[in-house]
Amino acid sequence: MMSVVSLVYASSPRGSGFIVYASPEAFLAMTCEHVVRGYRELQIFFPGETKAYKARVLRHDPTIDLALISFLPDGDCLQRRVPLRFADLNAPLNCGAVRMIGYHQVPQGRLLSPGVFDGNLTVQEADQTDDPEMKLRSIQFLNCNYASEPGTSGGPILKGNRVVGVNSDSFGGHKFSISVIGVCNTLRRWLNMENSGVGIDDMLAMLARE
């Protein structure tokens, strides 16, 4: 949980995010586009800490609700913060226990540590249709049944110790989240590499150099 961060603007918590890349030159955190919408810069807080890091929005995409933010690390970051790793693109995304980690909202101030919300992956529409376009869209999203609260948007969804998705929205008691496949496809669009086989880690390294 030490790599799950709280995103704040003008002293107001906006949502959650998680570290996906770390180097002495830059740290990258992933979150949802609607969390950072309208902002060029925010503050990042690590669990249990009051020190703020000034971050800028590096990329955002409202069509899939994904964003990437960048900030300069210090010695504490480099020594203690380990990026979360994404699951393999071929990992099953329609079953299994998951946990979502995020900072839910409180009446005043902000939580110093994120909460953990347990649940399961549920059947995707892609498993129930023969329409190629529907399948392509559906595999970019996850259906989950964990409970969550406002403020947890942008938090990672973990299956074991790997990220399978990013918590995004809810409807009718189900959570709709961007899958690891959706993350990979979005990074490829941002880098104009749609037809490449470049992996997530390599693409994050490219974006960190911008």
Mean pLDDT of the region 178-182: 91
What is the Rg, in whole angstroms, of the alpha carbon atoms belonging to the chain?
16
Locate 54 and state its tokens.
Answer: 């000034």
> How many angstroms separate the Cα of 59 from the Cα of each of 130, 165, 189?
33, 18, 11
Residue 34: what pLDDT?
92
- Given the structure tokens 């953990």, which residue do they identify? 116
Strands 27-31 and 41-45, sheet pairing: unpaired
Instruction: Indicate the pairing of strand 141-144 with strand 115-120.
Output: unpaired
Residue 111's CB: how many other CB atoms inside 10 A? 17
Three-class DSSP category at 41: strand
Rounded to the nearest integer, the mean pLDDT of the chain is 84
Q: pLDDT tens digits for 110-155?
A: 666 788 888 888 765 545 555 545 455 567 788 888 877 777 889 9
Q: Is 8 helix (H, G, I), strand (E, B) or coil?
A: strand
User: In this structure, what token pair is assigned to residue 179?
Assistant: 């899958």
**196 CB burial (10 A radius; 0-12, 13-18, 19+):** exposed
Q: Given this model, what pLDDT does residue 125 score?
A: 53
At residue 113, the pLDDT reads: 75
pLDDT at 201: 94
Residue 36, SS3? helix
More confident residue, 102 or 151: 102
Q: Which domains does the chain have, with CATH numbers?
A: 4-83+196-208 (2.40.10.10), 96-184 (2.40.10.10)
CA distance 102 to 142: 17
Question: For 34-78, what is each residue's pLDDT tens digit?
Answer: 999 988 899 999 888 888 899 999 999 999 999 999 998 887 777
* pTM for this model (two decimals): 0.88
> Which has the higher per-residue pLDDT, 1 or 47?
47
Q: Which of 39-43, 132-136, 162-166, 191-195 has the lowest mean pLDDT?
A: 132-136
Residue identified by tokens 């002495």 is: 24
Compute the average pLDDT of residues 77-105: 83
Which range, of 18-22, 87-91, 103-107, 108-112, averages the lowest pLDDT? 108-112
Q: Could you tell me which residues come within 8 angstroms of residue 169 by beta carbon, excluding any fewer than 6 positions away?
A: 65, 153, 175, 176, 177
